[in-house]
Amino acid sequence: MLRLVLLALAATLAAHAQPSPEADRPRARDLGLAVGILPPGPLNAITDVAGVRVGHATVVEGDAVRTGVTAILPHGGNVYAERVPAAVAVGNGYGKLLGVTQIRELGEIETPILLTCTLCVWRAADALVEILLEQPGMEEVRSINAVVGETNDGVLNDIRSRPVRPEHVAEALGAASGGPVAEGSVGAGTGTVAFGWKGGIGTASRALPATLGGHTVGVLVQSNFGGVLTMNGAPVGRELGQFAFQQALGESADGSVMIVVATDAPLDARLLERLAHRALAGLARTGAAFTNGSGDYVIAFSTDRDGDALVPNDAMSPLFQAVAEATEEAIYNSMLRATTVTGHRGTIESLPLDRVVEVLDAYGVRGWDRSLPPGRE
């Protein structure tokens, strides 16, 4: 009964949702900012991995609440009954990633992955458990390892009010679908800040050619961290005068990022942990420094549940390249698509696109894909 009530509330919220302003802002490739050497999937999103679904609930209330929930589902079935292999990598452990020890112990996840704000983790997890327990076939279940990650959006969001409610979790789960993924100031990225500008949700993918295994790797990020923004090697933060440890701005380097990696490659927990660690290479390329107060986490899972013919160790390198590139590009997308937001403690501006393009052109980093040989697919 509770699940039906929550889903009804979610449908009502979705029916009154406003068009996303992010539609007017470009992704990285719209600006000619092509990251790396591997081709993206058709959507350049985590949903290029067949079966993966993403849904958002954006929570904007009054002048101070700017937060939300983002749900990532490995497949369209009951994840508890049809678990997928998974692993976690930690760049810096200043965070509240719920469910991490059981993932590490068993090498699998048994619930959708939720992302939200720091002080909403437990409320989101409680709602997720309530919803799952109401599903058919779950009547005898007595233990659920809810997987919930977070970043601290307390600049734009009145985080102490802990505004995420069960209907928001139900909305995100109910909205989860394949296809294009909304990015920027939506869902769990509604109130986030990255490199001093507006952060948010971003996604990207890489589709390996058949000669390198033919597998797909997709990444979704919740960006909310500091450092010196670098885009394809161009020092954007430095050139625009906004970067960590700059005394005149009082800019802090702390913050957090959640990175979710999906792949259809047949990987077990050990191989997925290796893959998750390489996502941190992509994070580092954007100018992050994994500072003391930054919770930098990667959750990686495979949608291939058979595990009959695992990718051998010496064939993992193309997947490593893919996840690093997709993570880097997903972070750029999270910021480029984000809009200026005014909230609890002021206004955080979005990246100034014209000035960013000027810096990218000054360093000659746009259009790199045009120099690559044909036939990468």
* CB count in 10 Å sphere of residue 222: 31
Residues 296, 302, 304, 334: which is the catalytic one? Answer: 296
Judge whether 38 and 376 are in contact, CB under 8 Å.
Answer: yes
Residues 185, 223, 294, 302: which is the catalytic one? Answer: 294
Is residue 185 part of the annotated active site? The answer reads: no
Is residue 256 part of the annotated active site? The answer reads: yes
CA angle, corner 248, sides to 246 and 252, nearest 5?
45
> In 3-state terms, what secondary structure has residue 85?
strand
Pairing between strand 147-151 and 197-198?
A: unpaired
Is residue 223 part of the annotated active site? The answer reads: no
Q: Whole-angstrom distance between the N-terminal and C-terminal Cα of the chain?
A: 49
Nearest to 175 by CA among 112, 95, 221: 112
Tokens of 35: 């990251």
For residues 256 and 243, give the distance between their C-alpha atoms in angstroms, rounded to a whole number. Answer: 16
Tell me the Cα Rg of the chain.
Answer: 19
| Whole-Å CA distances, 156 to 195, 294, 349 | 15, 17, 11
| Whole-Å CA distances, 336 to 36, 114, 129 | 18, 23, 34
For residues 119 and 17, give the distance between their C-alpha atoms in angstroms, rounded to a whole number. Answer: 24
Listed in sequence order, the residues at least 6 apart from 105 whose beta carbon sits closer than 8 Å to its beta carbon are none
Alpha carbons within 13 angstroms on the beta-carbon side of residue 272 total 30
For residues 59 and 136, give the distance between their C-alpha atoms in angstroms, rounded to a whole number. Answer: 29
Residues 256, 302, 334, 350: which is the catalytic one? Answer: 256
Nearest to 332 by CA among 204, 192, 189, 152: 204
Q: Which residue numbers are catalytic? A: 256, 294, 296
